[in-house]
Amino acid sequence: MSSQKVRKVIIPVAGLGTRFLPATKAMPKEMLPIIDKPVIQYVVEEAVASGITDIILVTSHTKRAVEDHFDENQSLEDWLKKQGKTDLIEQLQRLSKLANFIYVRQKGPYGNATPVLNAAHLINDEPFAVVFGDDVYTGAIPRMKQMIDVYEKYRNPVLGVIRVEKNEVNRYGIVDTAAQVEPRVYQCRDVVEKPSPESTPSCLASAAGYILTPDIFEEIQNLKPGHGGEYVTLDAVRSLMKKRPVYACEIEGEYHDTGSKLGWLRANLKMSLERDDLKDDVRKMLKEL
């Protein structure tokens, strides 16, 4: 049983972001701002706050802006220095020093299992996290930290799950739990993809990412394409459940699906109402609307 800590996260960011066209024609969807920070920065900062040191971003040729965002920009810093905006310089310099950033170009068949496999050579024999570049969680304890804590206790793969309404289960992979082992932690029996409200085994939706072990790569390599010809990470995890225990961690906090227009808009409004420099003006604006 490995005693290694979870130090690495794989974040797939190669998607085309078609739900936000034409905005995403020339700009990655992960660079859409929530107020004054791009979505991907919230995800990276959460990973760092959870103890992650290596951020592996699986990108495409259209995602150079994501790479540039976490790089140094000396000409911009020089201009800000001339303007006396030292606080902004500090913010920019902090970005490139958040973690070790590794960029891998996505290659292979369609589906979210492909970017995980693309980064296999960077994992060695370590446990690692997988989260998605447009899923933002807010709360007292970072979502990834909650999942890592469960992994470190049970030393087996962990699904991050959220509790959804029964009439929403047909939008998610829903966990069939074998047993609740402690508050908000369950051992998994199976995952049912998009069940009807009448047939769903629970209301725990796989929507918060994973803590995985290196044996997942063999399961991904043996995957057959699922619905729409996709190779899906959750299908590989489901296969792994037949060979070893897999746990589900019910996330405490708020999930913002910034990959949808309403989710992105709601995240902007919700977070602006939580900021001291904006909340009064935003409340006033909303009343006027």
Domain containing 280 equals 8-288
pLDDT of residue 17: 84
Residue 31 in domain: yes
Kindly report the number of other CB atoms within 10 A of residue 244's CB atom.
Answer: 11
pLDDT (0 to 100) of residue 4: 85
Condensed to tens digits (0 to 9), the pLDDT of residues 79-116 reads: 999 998 988 998 898 998 999 999 999 998 888 999 99
Is 212 inside a domain boundary? yes
Residue 285 confidence class, pLDDT cut points 50, 70, 90 = very high
Backbone angles phi, psi at 154, to 5 degrees: -110, -15
The 10 Å Cβ neighbour count of residue 170 is 15
* Percentage, residues of the chain above pLDDT 70: 99
Burial class (CB in 10 A: 0-12, 13-18, 19+), 242: exposed
Confidence of residue 269 (pLDDT cuts 50, 70, 90): very high
CATH classification of the domain holding 240: 3.90.550.10
- Residue 48 has a pLDDT of 96
Q: What percent of the chain has pLDDT over 90?
A: 76
Please give the pLDDT value at position 3: 72
> Could you give the CA distance from residue 138 to residue 227 in angstroms, rounded to a whole number?
31
Is residue 275 domain-resident?
yes
Q: Could you tell me if residue 164 is inside a domain?
A: yes
| Cβ 166 vs Cβ 198: under 8 Å | no
Backbone phi and psi for residue 73, each to the nearest 5 degrees, phi listed first: -135, 85
2, part of any domain = no
pLDDT tens per residue, range 50-89: 999 999 999 998 889 999 999 989 999 999 999 989 889 9
pLDDT of residue 2: 57
Q: Is residue 126 part of a domain?
A: yes
* Backbone torsions φ then ψ of 207, nearest 5 degrees: -145, 10
User: How do residues 146-171 score in pLDDT, each as one tens digit?
Assistant: 999 999 999 999 999 999 999 999 98
Half-sphere exposure of 200 (CA within 13 A, CB side): 23
Nearest partner of 185 among 175, 195, 172, judged by Cα: 175
pLDDT mean across residues, the chain? 92
Per-residue pLDDT at 1 exceeds 70:
no
Query: Looking at residue 15, what is its pLDDT?
Result: 85
Q: Would 74 be classed as within a structural domain?
A: yes
Residue 183's pLDDT band (boundaries 50, 70, 90)?
Answer: very high
Query: Is residue 90 in a domain?
Result: yes
- Amino acid 224: pLDDT: 85
Number of domains in the chain: 1
Q: How confident is the model at residue 42 (pLDDT cuts 50, 70, 90)?
A: very high
Mean pLDDT on 43-50: 96
- Residue-wise pLDDT for 210-239, tens only, equals 999 999 999 999 988 877 788 989 999 999
